[in-house]
Chains A and B, each alone.
Chain A
Amino acid sequence: MEFVLLIALPVLGALTLAFLGARREAPEINAAFSLGTFIAACGLTTRVISEGELLIGREQFFIDPFNVFLVTLTAFVGWTTSLFSRPYMRIEREHGRVSPGQLRLFHSMYQLFNATMLIALTTNNLGLLWVAMEAATLSTVLLVTLYRTPASLEAGWKYFILCGVGIAQALFGTILLYFAAEKVLGSEGVSALLWTHLNGVKDQLEPAVLGLAFVFLLVGYGTKVGLAPLHNWLPDAHAEGPTPISAVLSGLLLNVAIYAVVRCKVLVEGALDSTLPSRMLMGFGLFSVVLAAFLLWRQRDIKRLFAYSSIEHMGIITFAFGMGGAVANFAALLHMTVHSLTKSAIFFAVGHAAQKAGTQVMDDIRGLITISPTVGWGLMIGSLAILGVPPFGVFASEFLILTTAMRQEPWATPILLISLGIAFAAIFGRLQPMVFGETTARRLPHQPAMLPVFAHLALVLMLGLFIPPYLADWYRAAARLIGGD
């Protein structure tokens, strides 16, 4: 029941807003649907905690400890983003940057995007996972180009074609996986693509085919994660779309793509009995961290800056999943959570800052603390949190990842540490004048919607100081499921 609501509400929301999305109260309707989805997710979570894993709809959907926490996180950030987009999109409309028709498109597609992500997270069928991932791209392409500027059209085109080609590789990987599975499970029915069935027989799957399949799956879904060198679409799509979309792309879609990679990795590793998948994840992860850290220095656009920071953090998470083992998996899951919360909070603050300054160019954004103290502090605290300053949650997860790396992969530790240092200097140096610099601009006339920002940051702070026991158990169960011993 909760599950049906979880998927049906955003779909229904998309349909409703396709008609009502341009009305004055549309942002409230949007937020109400997202809240409903979040409540359904919470209901589902409590049920999974009390009853254990669930298989739903002829085994096409399933909920286990690994995906249930991502479902809740996705629904939560989906809801807070809809709260943020309420004043944000209203101001955009007053500034004449979006027409009523575009607003309708935005609201409807926002709900559809949430629905595709939730389907991708909960489906047991690896084919459906692919379909939902592609649908997630398609539902956001027209949102990236919402402003119809030349730059946004370019960003949308890159997003469409690069992710399209990338995800075609993932489809080929899925075909190969099906090919290997069909020999063991038979082609009768559709069980040969169901993850739970595959997981049961993974040691019987043909290693040569699975190795090849994993290369394609990693390149395919890795494109959506934004792993270097497949990351080209990511900064453009984040910078040129409306800010609520940047927040959900960075905070949620990247997580969902990593989820897909990890699901595939579990299967392949079981079949292969070699460290190839782990090595590949570590290699891609580390390369992304290093490349992003250096490219951070060359950014002038504030949203691009934080988009590159997302690439860096996705690299860290991928690296941690590559190392594997109970602690690294735990840390990677924690890092997914805190990155998602912090980065979306930062984008909320950035959205208000850029809206006020009328530009996303960092040199022209100055003295946020005098224009609007809450936005200034929100951006400052959020950035410190994402840079891994204690006592925030990002520090805790990065600390765990680094100490595990010291033990398991000592060679990688200095590379990671230096990259984190470079990224810190790059972001902090840019941030300081933006928040504390001199400005001639007047105070913000309206009250910005900063509640989601501080709610997210408070959660991140809490996760840094104290992880509630049930949450820790849950992370541990998920880490075990992924292959920690």
Chain B
Amino acid sequence: MEHLTLDLQLLNAFAALLLLLSFAMLSQRRIVSLVNLLALQGALLCAATLLLAWRTGEQHLYFSALLTLALKVVFLPWLLHRLIRRLGVYWDTEPLLNVPFTMLVGVLVVVFAFGLAQPIAELASTATRNAIGIAIAVILLAFLTMITRRKAMSQVVGFLSMENGLFFGAMSATYGMPMIVELGIALDVLVAMLVLGVFFFQIREQFDSLDLHHLETLKEDQ
């Protein structure tokens, strides 16, 4: 096995931790903890970006690390915590699948993700190419989180975690997207969360709850 430098080992450790956090989110039912896990994921992402920026000397990576810090570690978790307090949603109800089974599906998803990443990783010239599989796994696990949850709030956390996975994927495959695109994406995520904030209050005003089973009346044949 080839010898890895310390910074690369550290980067791989960050990637592994990201994956671990995704599994933690998959099983976590307390919404406050879910948001904390999301913030932790953001912090790891920020640290990984900083390390990569230092390693490669790419200026724009410093900037995107800053953006990650501001948006995903500070602002969005703050906004979500505020929403949780104002709306009083602390627990998700029993997920649609039980936790052990979900974890099992999660493991299969990870295997699939690494299979999918194989051809891309072979072509990648970046030092972080081994992490591409992890990025895809994070995306798919976030997707699984969204599918198995009932509360609107947990689905949103899943959505943001998916965005984290996409960001990590872009970073490990190509050292990040061009600056203008990254700014645009960050803006979209920010606006999406603000729209959601408004939206949650509308749902709550109407149904007195954020449980999505209220939102299952429109069917194909109405």
A127-B178, A168-B166, A179-B174 given as contacts; is B123 within 8 A of A208 (CB)? yes
Which of chain B's residues have a CB closer than 8 A to the CB of A135?
188, 191
A131 in contact with B124 (CB, 8 Å): no
B206 in contact with A175 (CB, 8 Å): no
Give B15 Cβ to nearest chain A Cβ, in Å: 16
In the bound complex, CA of A301 to CA of B220 (Å): 11
Residue of B nearest to A175 (CB): B170
| 5 A-B pairs closest in CB distance | A127-B181, A131-B184, A298-B221, A190-B178, A154-B215
Any B CB within 8 A of the CB of A300: yes
Residues in B lying within 8 Å of A, measured CB to CB: 116, 119-120, 123-125, 139, 143, 146, 152, 155, 159, 162-163, 166, 169-170, 173-175, 177-181, 184-185, 187-188, 191-192, 195-196, 198-199, 202-203, 205-207, 212, 214-218, 220-222
Contact with B along A430-461 (1 / 0, CB 8 A): 00000000000000000000000000000000
In the bound complex, CA of A299 to CA of B222 (Å): 6
A128-B184, A172-B139 given as contacts; is B212 within 8 A of A157 (CB)? yes
A154-B217, A160-B195, A212-B119 given as contacts; is B222 within 8 A of A190 (CB)? no
A299 in contact with B221 (CB, 8 Å): yes
Which of chain A's residues have a CB closer than 8 A to the CB of B215?
153-154, 157-158
Any B CB within 8 A of the CB of A393: no
Any B CB within 8 A of the CB of A236: yes
B221 in contact with A165 (CB, 8 Å): no
B162 in contact with A128 (CB, 8 Å): no
Which of chain B's residues have a CB closer than 8 A to the CB of A179?
120, 123-124, 173-174
In the complex, chain A residues 203-234 whose Cβ is within 8 Å of any chain B Cβ: 206, 208-209, 212
Residue of A nearest to B187 (CB): A131
A193 in contact with B181 (CB, 8 Å): yes
A127-B177, A168-B162, A171-B185 given as contacts; is B169 within 8 A of A156 (CB)? no
In the bound complex, CA of A60 to CA of B222 (Å): 44
Beyond A165-B162, A179-B174, 14 extra complex contacts between A and B, CB < 8 Å: A131-B181, A131-B188, A142-B199, A145-B199, A155-B218, A157-B199, A157-B212, A168-B139, A168-B163, A176-B120, A190-B180, A190-B181, A209-B120, A298-B221
Any B CB within 8 A of the CB of A269: no
Residue of B nearest to A176 (CB): B120
In the bound complex, CA of A212 to CA of B136 (Å): 13
A150 in contact with B195 (CB, 8 Å): no
Count CB-based A-B contacts (< 8 Å). 142
In the bound complex, CA of A172 to CA of B137 (Å): 13
In the bound complex, CA of A236 to CA of B174 (Å): 38
Q: List 6 A-B contacts (CB under 8 A).
A: A125-B180, A178-B178, A183-B123, A208-B119, A212-B116, A236-B218
The one of B166, B179, B222 that contacts A175, using a Cβ cutoff of 8 Å: B166
Residue of A nearest to B147 (CB): A165
Which of chain B's residues have a CB closer than 8 A to the CB of A193?
177-178, 181
Give the interface residue-count category, chain A: 35 or more
Which of chain B's residues have a CB closer than 8 A to the CB of A304?
222
A142 in contact with B159 (CB, 8 Å): no
In the bound complex, CA of A250 to CA of B205 (Å): 29
Which of chain A's residues have a CB closer than 8 A to the CB of B159?
161, 164-165, 168
Give A122 Cβ to nearest chain B Cβ, in Å: 15
Any B CB within 8 A of the CB of A192: yes
In the bound complex, CA of A187 to CA of B202 (Å): 44
B174 in contact with A187 (CB, 8 Å): yes
Point out which of A128, A168, A299 has the most chain B C-beta atoms below 10 A from its C-beta: A168
Which of chain B's residues have a CB closer than 8 A to the CB of A208?
119, 123
Which of chain B's residues have a CB closer than 8 A to the CB of A298?
220-221
B174 in contact with A178 (CB, 8 Å): yes
Any B CB within 8 A of the CB of A263: no
Residue of B nearest to A301 (CB): B222
Any B CB within 8 A of the CB of A312: no
Residue of B nearest to A135 (CB): B188
Which of chain B's residues have a CB closer than 8 A to the CB of A368?
none
Contact with B along A124-163 (1 / 0, CB 8 A): 0101101100110010011001001111011111101100
Any B CB within 8 A of the CB of A182: yes
A182 in contact with B143 (CB, 8 Å): no
Residue of B nearest to A154 (CB): B215
Which of chain B's residues have a CB closer than 8 A to the CB of A150?
206-207, 214, 217
Give B133 Cβ to nearest chain A Cβ, in Å: 14
Any B CB within 8 A of the CB of A295: yes
Give B178 Cβ to nearest chain A Cβ, in Å: 4
B146 in contact with A165 (CB, 8 Å): yes
The one of A142, A148, A154 that contacts B218, using a Cβ cutoff of 8 Å: A154
In the bound complex, CA of A298 to CA of B222 (Å): 7
Give B216 Cβ to nearest chain A Cβ, in Å: 7
The one of A60, A134, A155, A209 that contacts B119, using a Cβ cutoff of 8 Å: A209
Point out which of A171, A192, A193, A235 has the most chain B C-beta atoms below 10 A from its C-beta: A171
Which of chain A's residues have a CB closer than 8 A to the CB of B221?
295, 298-299
Which of chain B's residues have a CB closer than 8 A to the CB of A158?
215, 218
Which of chain A's residues have a CB closer than 8 A to the CB of B192?
134, 138, 160, 164
In the complex, chain A residues 108-133 whose Cβ is within 8 Å of any chain B Cβ: 125, 127-128, 130-131
The one of A141, A149, A165, A182 that contacts B174, using a Cβ cutoff of 8 Å: A182
A172-B139, A179-B124 given as contacts; is B188 within 8 A of A138 (CB)? yes
Which of chain A's residues have a CB closer than 8 A to the CB of B217?
150-151, 154
In the bound complex, CA of A161 to CA of B147 (Å): 11
A165 in contact with B143 (CB, 8 Å): yes
Residue of B nearest to A236 (CB): B218
Contact with B along A328-351 (1 / 0, CB 8 A): 000000000000000000000000
Which of chain A's residues have a CB closer than 8 A to the CB of B202?
145, 148, 153
Contact with B along A18-37 (1 / 0, CB 8 A): 00000000000000000000
Which of chain A's residues have a CB closer than 8 A to the CB of B206?
148-150, 153
The one of B152, B155, B175 that contacts A187, using a Cβ cutoff of 8 Å: B175
In the bound complex, CA of A151 to CA of B125 (Å): 50
Give A439 Cβ to nearest chain B Cβ, in Å: 24
Which of chain A's residues have a CB closer than 8 A to the CB of B125?
183
In the bound complex, CA of A135 to CA of B220 (Å): 27
Give B185 Cβ to nearest chain A Cβ, in Å: 6
The one of A138, A174, A300 that contacts B222, using a Cβ cutoff of 8 Å: A300
